[in-house]
């Protein structure tokens, strides 16, 4: 059968005909095979043009149609429809683009004409291979998703809801309102922004058809037009619907952070609503990542919490918070090596918070003996703990709180372990330790002192009498040096020395003492020796000064007390005379390293032998545990007990171990952590539960950019020094050296905390919340909704003017952004609407710099469209409120909207100075008397052609509107594209301004480019109209150009299923049981990946078959 | 050889590059009339046979124009096209064709100027290279 094709060539007025010789092209086309008729017409898309086609189909019996006109993206659908109306299947039509691809891009008429002929010839060839296709109609889900709750999203939501169809309005921030809620007055009418916005916000909150999800973000979008599936993450607000917005929680919250809504001009609490009229009117707790101090703490203390409570004077509450994680707060506040301080972010600015000193302050400030202990219900189970050091006490404390009956067996006559006998009293006074132990005893823990397990009582006895045993006997046996003289002479082991002194017994020492070792024990021995009257004390250690294991504070204090430290030295022998020690012989050390067995290889400097004279030698090079053989436990290196690290269980059933006895000598806080872990492990073991292992990541180092941001945000402020006894006073006795903060000092220091975690988990808000609306354990919620269309209204970001360093933003206090000015002039803002300089004075002169980041090749080339007008409005407000002189430095005044030009004229009459020119710099470098104390704006006035220096008090920067920083991810999420400027692209700039190339997804407002409120609202109504049109029709047509399988040639290999991103094809069994592919046409997007991948050619895309495309190619390359 | 006018077949993705070629039109970004654009739904739809057929039939160069990485309307069609073009270049090399006769270019939908520039560059380069060796006397400019 011969096909009859009609070819129609459009002049498009003169758009095509001016370049392409339409008549010649028409004549040429008439000669082509299959062409029945070729016509040209002035406007083929007009009704008359379309009628031509329809008539020809009917009268000439055309069975193929080609139109050559503008881009098919413009009118392909128009002509398909015309064909259908003429009675021809619309897929038997092809479009040749001879305007955008030909007449508009080529100047040479002959070449353009030839090209037009080629393009039409190829279309005629192609159309002959096209097949009739049927389109599928699918129902449209009448619900709509709107992403972004600014004025655009609000307007669209209300309009759609007015039709009584459901709208899901998703807003990332805790309240809707967007940028408009931050504005003071709106141009040109000077309406109060909040006054016209908040009634709309309330309507959204009250509308039964609007499902408002604040603090929520879109996670995933799938499906297709009319039938999208959307996953939404509702972020935990930590405050439930029960909240009545009474605000009591705000008074209780001790944490202050910069307010985002107020552009950082003042502070808000960690529990807050962004502004008074927030919708939803429910409070929210802002929580950042876990603060580094908490991550670094081996027991994960709520450090930021107790610092915040100290800063507001809630010392009792702070103590309770300490106790939540730390069983020995008074002890820890004195002896902890505070890894938290090493990770404190404040250290990037000046010095870390004095966390440990503040902890001590809290513990000292409350009377521990009067603190009520919690009510405990005994659970009837019993646990024995061997050793009353920090590990044993901590395990006992936590187990007692869980209801266990706990008995601690202590070999010495007093409880405390190393805390009691290893740490000198000037660092940890006895009564402080006694108070912490006393509290634990009040919990019901029984401490049996003077009971060494292995002597009167055996481990077997404990195993029999208790359900579990925790061994925490520490490491009390001094290591030996193995050098000549060590065995025969009276060398004093360090821990023995400290124990004897700490137990109040006398130790004989000479006037000159040598302590060997570089750890805390060595330093403690040296300082004790000074206090016992030794005139000269030398510490000799292998390590360099920086490598010494002792805390740097301890070393400094020791040196202040006259202790002489010899670093990088090794002792080779004890020098003696007739059994009396005369000193030690040392060698200088170049380097050393520990081998795998724990031995040490030392590279000494030959010939550096020298003698340090001394009558007493104390050896403090480390300790190891003493484990009685009858314990019958697997032991590891250094005589330590081997345990499973997570559970601390030993080789004996029901016996656990932790602290120094497992790790060798370590820090107090690590022993406490081990005790706490043991308590959890024993509890889960006895309950037959699986132990929930806590994993805390290590704090990460900040990037250079993060550090710069911190430094910009927070001014430096030195830490409050801990008052100490003068060195001369110290060596007289064992009085505590560090005296502790006063209340004022503590509050001043605590206020330095940056509150990096947001909410500090102090739970003060929970205590005051009457409706019990606060839930600190709330988790994010993932919900899925199904919608027919999606309206994207995600708004814009402000340009950061700090990158234009010449303008001094961030450097000079009174250089502010226009948005900061909005907050300053707003009656509800931080200054109650007073336009003030940072020092509280009223400005006498203000410069407003236009186009900061816009119309600038270095940043954004586009015009931000709203700045000229708000600059005029700002000028008006400044004149009204302060009477200050106002200078507008502009490039062009663009006042194009309704009433805008009139507003501009009014302002011109108000005595505002207009200077046309781009500002080159803002500085405080005064050259003349009248410039002193001012900001000098340097600018060329291009109208008079001279450079100006304008001294002012305040500079307002009209910053560009720019695409959201996450616009790229959002574009991918919704499968929409972006223009080169980064904003979302509309389907057609003029004629289809809110649709996107992806059917069913619309963009409105500033996410599609800078717009003022009026234009944004108009767009929002446009978007609502698009969605309502779909809902009204109730169905959409799906693309017919989707994949199709030829069952004859498909071998069911599944290559198509591997390449398809949409899971459309799947391999199924045919009636003979053979594998064959099947396409789900509703899901198929028609991309063609499967057709390329198919090895047999069984898979093809309808309307884009190989035959159709190859016939086009063949026609185009023909001579 | 000075009057040699090469013929380029351009396969342009409907969503980005074809739209960009329209933008070139609306913004009157002139470029040489040596190109014929074939609209495909995705650059990943271009089968190797289309390229071979164009070159064997008389084209001097082939352009595959797709969305920028990450912008593909079908998620990964452009990266599939990229792999295909890599393989095709090896094949063309074996057939004795210059590497630059096949070009892959990412052009997003607003980049009309880039589309025009790409054609200009290709035409200039193909003029230097001369007619395709596969042409054997066929083709527009021969």
| Within a domain: A555 | yes
DSSP string, A1020-1086: HHHHHHHHHHHHHH-EEEEPS--EEE-TTT-----HHHHH-SS--EEEEE-TTS-EEEEE-TTT---
Judge if A299 and A336 occupy the same domain.
Answer: yes
> Is B132's Cβ below 8 Å from some Cβ in A?
no
Judge if A895 and A847 occupy the same domain.
Answer: yes
Q: Is the pLDDT of residue A1046 over 50?
A: yes
Q: Is the pLDDT of residue A1119 over 80?
A: no
Q: Is the pLDDT of residue A903 over 90?
A: yes
ipTM exceeding the 0.85 mark: yes
Judge if A1027 and A968 occupy the same domain.
Answer: yes
CATH (domain of B70): 3.40.50
CATH (domain of A506): 3.50.50.60
Neighbours of B133 (CB within 10 A): 14
Residues forming beta bridges with residue A1076, ordered by sequence position: A1068
In a 13 Å sphere around the CA of A642, the CA atoms on its Cβ side amount to 8
| Within a domain: B135 | no
Place of tokens 């011109």: A908
| Within a domain: A277 | no
Judge if A821 and A705 occupy the same domain.
Answer: no
Asked whether A920 and A806 are in contact (CB, 8 A), the reply is yes
| Within a domain: A139 | no
Judge if A509 and A613 occupy the same domain.
Answer: yes
| Within a domain: A1023 | yes
Mean pLDDT check: name the lowest of A87-96, A628-637, A942-951, A996-1005.
A628-637
In the prediction, which pLDDT does B142 show? 36
Judge if A657 and A613 occupy the same domain.
Answer: no
Of B53, B67, B111, the CB nearest to A1113: B53
The angle at the Cα of A563, spanning A558 to A566, to the nearest 5 degrees, equals: 110
| Within a domain: A221 | yes
| Within a domain: B108 | yes
Write out the two tokens for A1080: 């789900």
| Within a domain: B1 | no
Of A74, A1041, A1114, the CB nearest to B53: A1114
| Within a domain: B136 | no
| Within a domain: B138 | no
| Cα distance between residue A859 and residue A890, in whole Å | 17
Residue A224 pLDDT grade (very low, low, confident, very high; cuts 50, 70, 90)? confident
Kindly tell me the number of DSSP H helices and DSSP E strands found in chain A: 34, 50
Dihedral, CA of residue A811, residue A814, residue A815 and residue A820, to nearest 10: 120
CATH (domain of A1074): 3.30.70.3270
Q: Is the pLDDT of residue A219 over 90?
A: yes
In the prediction, which pLDDT does B141 show? 41
Q: Could you list the residue range(s) of the whole structural domain that residue A230 is in?
A: 144-235+786-794+964-1037
Determine the distance in angstroms separating the CA of A851 from the nearest CA of chain B, rounded to an integer.
24
Place of tokens 């300082």: A527
Q: What is the pLDDT of residues A13-38, one digit of tens each?
A: 999 999 999 999 999 999 999 999 99
Closest CA to B129 of B82, B91, B92, B85: B92
Determine the distance in angstroms separating the CA of A1046 from the nearest CA of chain B, rounded to an integer.
18
The domain total for chain A is: 7
For residue B72, the chain A residue with the least C-alpha distance is A975
| Within a domain: A376 | no
Residues 6+ apart with CB under 8 A from A904: A872, A893, A895
Asked whether A124 and A31 are in contact (CB, 8 A), the reply is no
Judge if A664 and A706 occupy the same domain.
Answer: no
Q: Is the pLDDT of residue A921 over 70?
A: yes
Residue A1 pLDDT grade (very low, low, confident, very high; cuts 50, 70, 90)? low
Q: What is the pLDDT of residues B21-38, one digit of tens each?
A: 999 999 999 999 999 999
Report the DSSP pairing between strands A446-448 and A405-409: parallel
Residue B136 pLDDT grade (very low, low, confident, very high; cuts 50, 70, 90)? low
Ramachandran region, residue A938 (left: φ > 0; alpha: ψ -120 to 50; beta: rest):
beta
Task: List all residues of chain B from 19 to 58 with a beta carbon under 8 Å from chain A.
Answer: 19, 21-22, 24-26, 28-33, 36-42, 44-47, 49-50, 53-54, 57-58
> Is B17's Cβ below 8 Å from some Cβ in A?
no
Q: What is the mean pLDDT of chain A?
A: 93
Residue A731 pLDDT grade (very low, low, confident, very high; cuts 50, 70, 90)? confident
In a 13 Å sphere around the CA of A522, the CA atoms on its Cβ side amount to 29
Q: What is the pLDDT of residues B72-130, one digit of tens each?
A: 888 789 999 999 999 999 999 998 999 999 999 999 888 999 999 999 999 999 999 99
The alpha carbon dihedral of B115, B116, B120, B126 has a sign of positive
In the prediction, which pLDDT does B139 show? 43
Q: Looking at A687, A710, A738, which one is the last position of a domain? A: A687
Q: What is the pLDDT of residues A111-120, one digit of tens each?
A: 999 999 999 9
Judge if A580 and A600 occupy the same domain.
Answer: yes
What single-letter DSSP state applies at residue A739?
-
Judge if A513 and A459 occupy the same domain.
Answer: no
| Within a domain: B39 | yes
DSSP H/E element including A341: helix A339-343
> Is A77's Cβ below 8 Å from some Cβ in B?
no
| Cα distance between residue A267 and residue A830, in whole Å | 9
Percent of chain A exceeding pLDDT 70 equals 100
Asked whether A90 and A77 are in contact (CB, 8 A), the reply is no
Q: Could you list the residue range(s) of the whole structural domain that residue B92 is in?
A: 8-129
In the prediction, which pLDDT does B2 show? 58
pTM of the model: 0.79
| Cα distance between residue A521 and residue A542, in whole Å | 15
CATH (domain of A711): 1.10.1060
What single-letter DSSP state applies at residue A983?
S
SS3 A746: helix
Cβ-defined contact of A1112 to B38 (cutoff 8 Å): yes
- State the average pLDDT over residues A1024-1030: 97
Write out the two tokens for A402: 């869980």
Edge-to-edge strand list for the sheet holding A216-224: A216-224, A227-234, A781-787
Judge if A54 and A99 occupy the same domain.
Answer: yes
Judge if A212 and A86 occupy the same domain.
Answer: no
Report the DSSP pairing between strands A919-923 and A935-941: antiparallel
Write out the two tokens for A510: 């000479």
Tally C-beta pairs within 8 A across A and B: 153
| Within a domain: A1109 | no
In the prediction, which pLDDT does B70 show? 72
| Within a domain: B137 | no
Judge if A888 and A951 occupy the same domain.
Answer: yes
What single-letter DSSP state applies at residue A251?
H
Task: List all residues of chain A from 949 to 978 with a beta carbon under 8 Å from chain B.
Answer: 968, 971-972, 975, 977-978
The domain total for chain B is: 1
Residues 6+ apart with CB under 8 A from A450: A410, A411, A412, A413
DSSP string, A603-632: EE-TT--EEEE-SEEEE-S-EE----GGG-
In the prediction, which pLDDT does A96 show? 97
Largest Cα separation within chain B, whole Å, is 43
- State the average pLDDT over residues A1082-1091: 90
| Cα distance between residue A181 and residue A262, in whole Å | 11
Using a CB-CB cut-off of 8 Å, the residues of chain A touching B49 are 1106, 1110
| Cα distance between residue B1 and residue B132, in whole Å | 13
Q: What is the pLDDT of residues A733-789, one digit of tens each?
A: 888 888 999 999 999 999 999 999 999 999 999 999 999 999 999 999 999 999 999
| Cα distance between residue A790 and residue A1002, in whole Å | 6
In the prediction, which pLDDT does A804 show? 95
Q: Is the pLDDT of residue B1 over 60?
A: no
| Within a domain: A16 | yes
Asked whether B4 and B130 are in contact (CB, 8 A), the reply is yes
Using a CB-CB cut-off of 8 Å, the residues of chain A touching B45 are 1087-1089, 1091-1092, 1101, 1104
The angle at the Cα of A667, spanning A417 to A449, to the nearest 5 degrees, equals: 10
CATH (domain of A102): 3.40.50
Q: Looking at A602, A624, A646, which one is the last position of a domain? A: A624
């Amino acid at each position: 059968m011969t096909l009859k094709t009609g070819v129609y060539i459009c002049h498009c007025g003169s758009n095509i005909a001016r370049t392409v010789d339409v008549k010649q092209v028409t004549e040429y086309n008439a000669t082509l095979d299959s062409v029945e008729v070729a016509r040209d017409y002035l406007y083929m898309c007009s009704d008359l043009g379309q009628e031509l086609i329809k008539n020809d189909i009917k009268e000439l019996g055309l069975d193929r149609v080609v139109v050559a006109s503008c881009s098919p993206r413009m009118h392909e659908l128009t002509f398909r429809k015309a064909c259908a109306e003429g009675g021809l299947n619309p897929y038997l039509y092809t479009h040749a683009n001879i305007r955008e691809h030909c007449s508009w891009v080529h100047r040479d008429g002959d070449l353009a004409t030839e090209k037009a002929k080629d393009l039409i010839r190829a279309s005629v060839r192609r159309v002959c291979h096209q097949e009739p296709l049927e389109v599928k109609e699918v129902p449209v889900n009448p619900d709509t998703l709107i992403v972004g709750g600014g004025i655009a999203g609000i307007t669209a939501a209300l309009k759609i809801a007015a039709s009584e169809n459901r709208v899901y309005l998703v807003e990332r921030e805790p309240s809707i309102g967007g940028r408009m809620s931050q504005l003071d007055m709106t141009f040109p009418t000077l309406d109060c922004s909040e006054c016209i916005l908040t009634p709309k916000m309330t309507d959204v909150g009250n509308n039964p058809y609007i499902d408002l999800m604040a603090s929520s973000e879109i996670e995933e979008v799938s499906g297709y037009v009319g039938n999208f599936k959307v996953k939404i993450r509702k972020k935990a607000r930590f405050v439930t619907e029960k909240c009545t917005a009474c605000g009591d929680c705000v008074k209780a919250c001790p944490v202050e952070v910069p307010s985002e809504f107020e552009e950082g001009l003042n502070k808000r609490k960690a529990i807050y609503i962004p502004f008074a009229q927030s919708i939803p009117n429910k409070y929210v707790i802002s929580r950042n990542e876990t603060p580094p101090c908490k991550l670094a703490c081996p027991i994960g203390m709520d450090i930021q919490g107790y610092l915040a409570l100290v800063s507001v004077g809630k010392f009792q509450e702070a103590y309770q918070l300490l106790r939540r994680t730390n069983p020995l707060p008074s002890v820890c506040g004195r002896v902890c090596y505070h890894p938290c301080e090493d990770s404190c972010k404040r250290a990037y600015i000046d010095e870390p918070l004095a966390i440990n000193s503040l902890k001590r302050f809290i513990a000292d400030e409350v009377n521990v003996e009067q603190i009520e202990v919690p009510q405990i219900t005994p659970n009837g189970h019993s646990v024995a703990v061997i050793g009353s050091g920090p590990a044993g006490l901590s395990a006992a404390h936590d187990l007692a709180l869980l209801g266990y009956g706990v008995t601690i067996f202590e070999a010495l006559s007093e409880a405390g372990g190393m805390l009691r006998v290893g740490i000198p009293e000037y660092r940890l006074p006895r009564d402080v330790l006694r108070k912490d132990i006393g509290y634990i005893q009040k919990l019901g823990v029984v401490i049996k002192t003077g009971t060494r397990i292995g002597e009167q009582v055996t481990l077997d006895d404990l195993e029999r009498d208790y359900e579990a045993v925790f061994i925490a006997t520490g490491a009390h046996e001094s290591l030996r040096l193995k050098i000549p003289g060590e065995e025969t002479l009276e060398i004093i082991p360090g821990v023995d020395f400290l124990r004897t002194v700490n137990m109040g017994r006398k130790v004989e020492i000479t006037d000159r003492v040598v302590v060997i070792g570089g750890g805390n024990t060595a330093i403690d021995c040296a300082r004790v020796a000074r206090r016992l009257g030794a005139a000269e004390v030398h510490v000799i250690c292998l390590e360099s000064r920086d490598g010494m294991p002792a805390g740097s504070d301890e070393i400094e204090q020791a040196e202040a007390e006259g202790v002489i430290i010899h670093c990088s030295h090794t002792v080779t022998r004890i020098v003696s005379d007739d059994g009396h020690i005369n000193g030690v012989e040392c060698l200088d050390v170049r380097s050393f390293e520990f081998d795998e067995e724990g031995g040490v290889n030392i590279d000494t400097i030959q010939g550096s032998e020298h003698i340090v004279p001394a009558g007493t030698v104390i050896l403090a090079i480390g300790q190891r545990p003493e484990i009685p053989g009858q314990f019958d436990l697997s032991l590891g290196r250094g005589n330590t007990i081997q345990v499973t690290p997570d559970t601390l269980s030993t080789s004996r059933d029901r016996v656990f171990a932790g602290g120094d006895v497992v790790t060798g000598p370590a820090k107090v806080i690590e022993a406490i952590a081990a005790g706490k872990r043991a308590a959890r492990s024993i509890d889960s073991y006895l309950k037959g539960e699986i132990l929930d292992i806590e994993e805390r990541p290590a704090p990460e180092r900040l990037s250079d950019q993060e550090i710069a941001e911190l430094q910009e945000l927070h001014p430096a402020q030195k830490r409050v020094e801990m008052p100490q006894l003068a060195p001369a006073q110290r060596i007289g006795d064992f009085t505590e050296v560090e005296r502790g903060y006063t209340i004022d000092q503590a509050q001043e220091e605590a206020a330095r905390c940056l509150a990096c975690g947001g909410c500090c988990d102090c739970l003060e808000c929970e205590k005051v919340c009457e409706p019990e609306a606060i839930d600190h354990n709330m988790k994010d919620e993932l919900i899925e909704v199904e919608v027919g269309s999606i309206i994207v209204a995600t708004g814009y970001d402000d340009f950061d003017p700090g990158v234009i360093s010449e303008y001094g933003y961030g450097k000079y206090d009174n250089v502010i952004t226009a948005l900061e000015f909005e907050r300053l002039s707003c009656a509800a803002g931080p200054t109650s609407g007073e336009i003030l300089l940072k020092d509280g004075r009223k400005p006498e002169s203000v410069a407003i710099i236009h186009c900061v980041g816009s119309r600038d090749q270095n940043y954004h080339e586009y015009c931000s469209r709203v700045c000229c007008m708000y600059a005029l409005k700002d000028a008006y407000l400044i004149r009204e409120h302060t009477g200050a002189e106002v200078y507008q430095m502009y490039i062009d005044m663009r006042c194009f909207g309704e009433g805008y030009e009139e507003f501009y004229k009014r302002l011109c009459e108000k005595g505002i100075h207009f200077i046309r020119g781009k500002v080159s710099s803002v500085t405080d470098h005064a050259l003349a008397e009248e410039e002193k104390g001012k900001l000098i704006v340097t600018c060329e006035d291009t109208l008079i052609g001279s450079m100006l220096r304008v001294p002012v008090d305040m500079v307002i920067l009209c910053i560009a509107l720019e695409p959201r920083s996450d616009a790229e991810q959002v574009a991918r999420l919704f499968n929409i594209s972006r223009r080169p400027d980064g904003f979302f692209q509309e389907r057609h700039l003029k004629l289809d301004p809110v649709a996107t190339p992806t059917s069913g997804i619309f963009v409105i407002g500033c996410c599609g480019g800078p717009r003022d409120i009026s234009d944004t609202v108009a767009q929002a109504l446009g978007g609502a109209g698009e969605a309502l049109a779909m809902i009204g029709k109730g169905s959409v047509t799906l693309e017919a150009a989707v994949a199709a399988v030829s069952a004859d040639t498909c071998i069911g290999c599944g290559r198509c299923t591997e390449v398809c991103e949409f899971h459309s094809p799947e391999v199924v069994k045919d009636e003979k049981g053979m594998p064959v592919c099947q396409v789900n046409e509703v899901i198929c997007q028609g991309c063609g990946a499967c057709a390329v991948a198919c090895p047999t050619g069984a898979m093809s895309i309808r309307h884009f078959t190989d035959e159709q495309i190859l016939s086009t190619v063949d026609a185009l390359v023909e001579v | 050889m000075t009057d040699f006018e090469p013929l380029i077949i351009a396969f342009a993705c409907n969503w980005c590059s074809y739209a960009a070629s329209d933008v070139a039109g609306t913004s009157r970004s002139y470029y040489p009339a040596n190109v014929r654009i074939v609209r495909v739904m995705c650059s990943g739809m271009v089968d190797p046979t289309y390229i071979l057929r164009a070159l064997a039939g008389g084209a001097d160069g082939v352009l595959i124009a797709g969305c920028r990485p990450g912008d593909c309307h079908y998620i990964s069609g452009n990266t599939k096209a990229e792999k295909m073009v890599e393989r095709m270049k090896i094949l063309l090399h074996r057939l004795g064709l210059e590497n630059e006769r096949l070009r892959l270019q990412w052009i997003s939908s607003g980049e009309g100027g880039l589309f025009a520039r790409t054609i200009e560059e290709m035409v200039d380069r193909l003029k230097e290279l001369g007619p395709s060796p596969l042409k054997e006397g066929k083709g527009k400019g021969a």
